[in-house]
Structure 1
Amino acid sequence: MAEIPEEVLAGYLGTLHAFVRRARRIEAHSLQADRDQFIKWVHGSAQLTLGNGAGEMHYDVPPEEAFESLAARVRPLLLEQDGIHFSRILAAIGAFGRGDEGVMRTRQVLNKAWQRITGASIVGFAISEPVDGAPLINDVDLAHGWLYGDLVHAAPDVPEGVLSATLNQRYLAAVLIYGQAALAAVATLNVVRMLVAKGLLTLDADAEASPVVVSMPMTLPVVAARLTPTDQLTGLGAASPSATTTPPAPAVPRGANDHGGIGPGDST
């Protein structure tokens, strides 16, 4: 087995440090607190109802606002130009686990999972216009339209058919694609932890221990405070500091009525 230069391994190690912090942030997201429910959401939980000669599919999906934050946490792993794109993480895992068959087999499984949810093929569903010969729009493209059109940008570079789909259709696709990406991220994190447990990798202590979510209620230490001189503040229209905590009463213009208008005896 060919040796990997130390400087290359050092680069891979830095990549894994950054990934672990990001993946822990994904792992800690509130939507993943109930893992069984999350798996149902991202693998498509639906119920068909029939009546009056028509049918409807009812989908169980997570709250959109909460899912938006999870998708934002996952996004760097899907950007090829980002330093923690999933392909770079898998390469780093391969570099440190190349002598362990179990790690390498698991890496292959991870690679298939990542390729499936980022490829051009259908992951869960596709839509089309009810016209013969109408092209299919797969859920990968729909999810891309939700992320870059409905969430991040106003004018996404996506096919016209994606924009003509409904927001519900795009969001359902996003739940499937980015939700499964979140699962893949945590699974990849656990493989990195496997490397550590096997003694094949040593991470800095803060990679696994540093906070990755904001603590509530928030408390920040104060070592010292500096007050700006009063003459600098008053020049900007600020009141001078005083011992009282009662704010001065606002000045009321002569003749002003309760609605902020001008009284009969005033001129504008």
Structure 2
Amino acid sequence: MAASLREIEQRHRSNLEAFVLRARRVEEHSLAADWKGLVALGAGSMKVTVIGEQAVLRQELPSEELVESATARVRPLLLEEDPCAYLKALAAVGYFCRDLPRETSEVKAKRAEWRARTKPAPDSGYTVMVGNTTTGQTASLTDHDLAWAWIYGDVVHHDPDKRRAADPFGLAERFRAAVPLITWAMVAAIELLNHIRALQHDGILDLSPDVLDQEVVLRSTTWEHTGQAHTAPPGTPAPEHALSPFPRGWTSVQEAKPTRSSSSTASVPK
């Protein structure tokens, strides 16, 4: 049975709201605080210094731990089956803006750019070749394959096949290839997020206001809560719900706490 118009709209809206929540979390990552630096990382920029007949190639990259945390935030956007996937968000924007030619054109361009970076053609990017002068063994791998080997072999999973294929190149080469992919995806996600905000402001989208302002990252990791505390022996039935009274057997910590005028003694066996 074909989905109704209402069901189609609800699916697109749900995917778009999921993307907004995830993209806002990406936006809050510390790497995104330096926007120009993030864009430069996504471009894979490097410094080349020619010294005589040799060339020295140098890239200044963030710490692996920092990029690893960014990868955890970005990864769901790369998985096409996830509700918050970047391509699903683009499809939703295209659906709600289907009567706007300029928006339709931009969606097509962004889709092509995303696919070119996440699923590039074999002859794009660069290829790393290594060889062992003692054994004669050689290996070659594209930057895209090296990047995914770091993501799925070193970070979010331990894929033995990806690790095996990329091991001859070393961890540093895998990481160097992954940084531009992850940071470029961050840039693309934040740019789309800002575009969605503008469409929402103009009344073209009808997203829940909650997804645009609800908390997505912790500002403080110190937990403190003021309220009533009760204790009970193990096995004592718990309250039916948060608003129901405590059953028999529960004692308020405040009631059980000794007063200043009271005293207590304890004996310790020798």
Shared fold per TM-score greater than 0.5: yes
The alignment's C-alpha RMSD in Å is 3.0
1:70 maps to what in 2?
70
Query: Which of 129, 135, 138 pairs up with 2:142?
Result: 138
Asked if 1:127 corresponds to 2:128, the answer is: yes
Q: 1:221 to 1:54 in 2, by over 3 A?
A: same
Q: Aligned partners of 2:228 and 2:151: how far apart in 1?
A: 43
2:172 maps to what in 1?
168
Q: Aligned partners of 1:87 and 1:130: how far apart in 2?
A: 38
Query: Which of 177, 183, 188 pairs up with 2:187?
Result: 183
Q: Aligned partners of 1:108 and 1:242: how far apart in 2?
A: 67
Q: 1:229 to 1:151 in 2, by over 3 A?
A: same
Contact preservation (8 Å) 2:130, 2:169: no
Q: Aligned partners of 1:215 and 1:176: how far apart in 2?
A: 27
Q: 1:167 to 1:13 in 2, by over 3 A?
A: same
Q: 1:226 to 1:46 in 2, by over 3 A?
A: same
Per the TM alignment, residue 219 of structure 1 is displaced from its structure 2 partner at its CA by: 4.8
Per the TM alignment, residue 127 of structure 1 is displaced from its structure 2 partner at its CA by: 0.5
213-222 or 178-187, which deviates more: 213-222
> What secondary structure sits across from 1:191 in the alignment?
helix
Contact preservation (8 Å) 1:27, 1:186: yes
Query: TM-score if structure 2 supplies the norm length?
Result: 0.77
**Cα displacement string for residues 63-120 of structure 1 (whole angstroms, at most 9, x for unaligned residues):** 2111111111110011132122222112111110101122112212211221111114
Aligned residues between the structures: 235
Amino acid at match of 1:91: A
2:198 maps to what in 1?
194
Per the TM alignment, residue 189 of structure 1 is displaced from its structure 2 partner at its CA by: 1.3
Q: 1:158 to 1:120 in 2, by over 3 A?
A: farther
Per the TM alignment, residue 162 of structure 1 is displaced from its structure 2 partner at its CA by: 1.8
Per the TM alignment, residue 153 of structure 1 is displaced from its structure 2 partner at its CA by: 2.1
Amino acid at match of 1:92: A
Q: Aligned partners of 2:124 and 2:181: how far apart in 1?
A: 7
1:153 maps to what in 2?
157
Q: Aligned partners of 2:72 and 2:12: how far apart in 1?
A: 24
Contact preservation (8 Å) 2:130, 2:168: no
What runs of 5+ residues in structure 2 fail to find an aligned partner? 237-255, 259-267
Amino acid at match of 1:101: P
What runs of 5+ residues in structure 1 fail to find an aligned partner? 233-240, 244-250, 252-268
Contact preservation (8 Å) 1:48, 1:56: yes
Q: Aligned partners of 1:190 and 1:50: how far apart in 2?
A: 41
Q: Aligned partners of 1:29 and 1:231: how far apart in 2?
A: 43
**Cα displacement string for residues 193-235 of structure 1 (whole angstroms, at most 9, x for unaligned residues):** 2321331111111100001110125354433322234999xxx
